Amino acid sequence: MEKKVSNKVSSKAVFLAGIIKENPVFVALLGCCPTLATTKSVEAALGMGLLVILVLIGSNVLISLLRKVIPAEVKIPCYIVIIATFVTIIKMLTQAFIPALYDSLGVFISLIVVNCIILGRAESFASKNGPKASFFDALGTGIGFTMALCIIAFIREFIGTGALTFGYYFPLPTPLKWQILPESIAISLFVQSAGGFLVLGCVLAFIAWRSNVKADKKAAAEKARIEELKAKKAAEVAAKKAAEEAAAKQGSEAKELEESPKEEKKDNPEKPLEPTKEVA
């Protein structure tokens, strides 16, 4: 995943790469610990994702600004110190303004420091590119991580409780709850630890199946294109051969026409004139 963005690569491409092509959870399989632990509800998953986005943006931009100052021998410790600083700030702000979310996430806020997604982007991207590209890379990666958390949390909460809730962790005047399925048919296993592994495995299996289907379609289309090119080439060769045979036939006919008068002259030679007798 190490790369250096050239001037020709747009910020949009860098931003979208972290969401789709290089999604940290569904593609790179990074950050699985918070993915499994904080996805019991969509609200908690969204909160965790927002905190990771803030830490990613702050650490990526600062490391990008200091990339030429930090010695190569101590760059990893420096990166960890920078990330830990932002995590501490975010942790204190969350505890002060969103205490319910802080209590829900608990130790996993502090574990953002050792989240391999943040350290990986700092090492592979921010340390090699400018602040602008690093900002969009952090934003795209953070959104991709949050999107993955919310997808898994939606499945777990919907099947595990039959409802979707919002406002229990974020400071809303009135908590919202949509009871979509009866609680009697909800499967509580999905809001437990085993449910996280089960849902993550099913989502990854679905993504792998979709990738295989796309690969098969692409291979079939490429095979059809190759067969079409072969048929076209064979038709061109056959047409060229037919044209050469027609030209050769026309040439032989023309040669026969040229030789036929000569043969007639040989078959019918002109008789010599008889000498006239003089009258005595």
- The residue among 146, 237, 123, 148 whose CA lies nearest residue 199 is 148
Contact 101, 94 (CB under 8 A): yes
For residues 171 and 147, membership in a common domain is answered with yes
Per-residue pLDDT of 97-138, as tens digits, reads: 999 999 999 899 999 998 999 999 999 999 999 999 999 999
Per-residue pLDDT of 177-193, as tens digits, reads: 999 888 889 999 999 98
pTM: 0.80
Domains in the chain: how many in total? 2
Please give the pLDDT value at position 8.
46
Please give the pLDDT value at position 50.
96
For residues 22 and 145, membership in a common domain is answered with yes
For residues 127 and 146, membership in a common domain is answered with yes
231 part of a folded domain: yes
For residues 121 and 96, membership in a common domain is answered with yes
Which range among 79-88, 159-168, 259-268 shows the weakest confidence by mean pLDDT? Answer: 259-268
Please give the pLDDT value at position 9.
60
pLDDT of 43 higher than 80: yes
For residues 213 and 237, membership in a common domain is answered with yes
Per-residue pLDDT of 184-230, as tens digits, reads: 899 999 999 899 999 999 999 999 999 999 999 999 999 999 999 99
Contact 151, 30 (CB under 8 A): no
In this structure, how many other beta carbons lie within 10 angstroms of the beta carbon of residue 260? 9
> Which domain does 76 fall in, by range?
11-189
pLDDT level of residue 250 (50, 70, 90 thresholds):
confident
pLDDT level of residue 271 (50, 70, 90 thresholds):
low
